[in-house]
Chain A
Amino acid sequence: AQSVTQLDSQVPVFEEAPVELRCNYSSSVSVYLFWYVQYPNQGLQLLLKYLSGSTLVKGINGFEAEFNKSQTSFHLRKPSVHISDTAEYFCAVILNDYKLSFGAGTTVTVRA
């Protein structure tokens, strides 16, 4: 069973507009959740993570995500995007102490 589902494969957005990337996870797994970003031809970089505590998590580069247990969601948001935010974004969940399961990814293309 898919542990993580990213609901949008492609998200085009204009510069300075807000963006939301949707992620739902299987309720049968633990709730350690992550968002990673991959810029073109680069490796993965952690944007933010939720392990416990406040359900609103702030990350790097102005991104934030909200953990919603009742909706089993962990959507990523940014109020105003830049051209440099063009990248692929991955939602991930830890299945046990070690294994990380990724969603299929969402490609964000920011246009001027």
Chain B
Amino acid sequence: NAGVTQTPKFQVLKTGQSMTLQCAQDMNHEYMSWYRQDPGMGLRLIHYSVGAGITDQGEVPNGYNVSRSTTEDFPLRLLSAAPSQTSVYFCASKATTDTQYFGPGTRLTVL
């Protein structure tokens, strides 16, 4: 199993550009989530999904969209990038009320 994979690893955007961060897992987990990590703030939940076709907002959802058309994939879309979205983004998945497995992260810089 590859676990949780994320692409790209690094990305630089200009303000106003849009892009999609990809996340995939091969563990057949129902629950998937996106976090952003900023210095001194830990990880904050952006969006999450409890299964294909079901998504919900987390703590900091503004400026981001998600969809879950399959169990395996959970892409995160930045509609119009802003410098405040410069961060490290982590995707995670888990089966039940237990351990979350994290991807390696995407480091995003918005100029």
Contacts and interface: CB of A to CB of B under 8 A. Distances in A.
Interface of A: 4, 6, 9, 32, 34, 36, 42-46, 49, 51, 90, 94, 97-105
Given A43-B103, A100-B45, A105-B40, 18 more contacts: A9-B40, A34-B99, A36-B102, A42-B104, A44-B43, A49-B99, A51-B98, A90-B42, A97-B97, A98-B48, A98-B94, A99-B48, A99-B58, A100-B92, A101-B45, A102-B42, A102-B44, A103-B42
Contacts of A90: 42-43
B100 interface: yes
Contacts of B44: 102
B90 interface: yes
A32 B100 CA distance: 12
B40 A104 contact: yes
B31 interface: yes
Which of A32, A51, A98, A104 is packed against the most chain B CB atoms within 10 Å? A98
A32 B104 CA distance: 24
A104 B99 contact: no
Contacts of B31: 98
Given A100-B100, A103-B42, A43 B105 contact: yes
B89 to A, nearest CB: 11
A34 B94 CA distance: 14
Interface in B91-111: 92, 94, 96-100, 102-105
Contacts of A103: 42
Interface in B14-62: 31, 33, 35, 40-45, 48, 50, 58
A36 B45 CA distance: 16
Given A32-B97, A51-B98, A98-B48, A104 B42 contact: yes
22 contacts: A32-B97, A34-B99, A43-B90, A43-B103, A43-B105, A44-B43, A49-B98, A49-B99, A51-B97, A94-B97, A97-B96, A98-B31, A98-B33, A98-B50, A98-B94, A100-B45, A101-B45, A102-B44, A104-B40, A104-B41, A104-B42, A105-B40
A100 B90 CA distance: 13
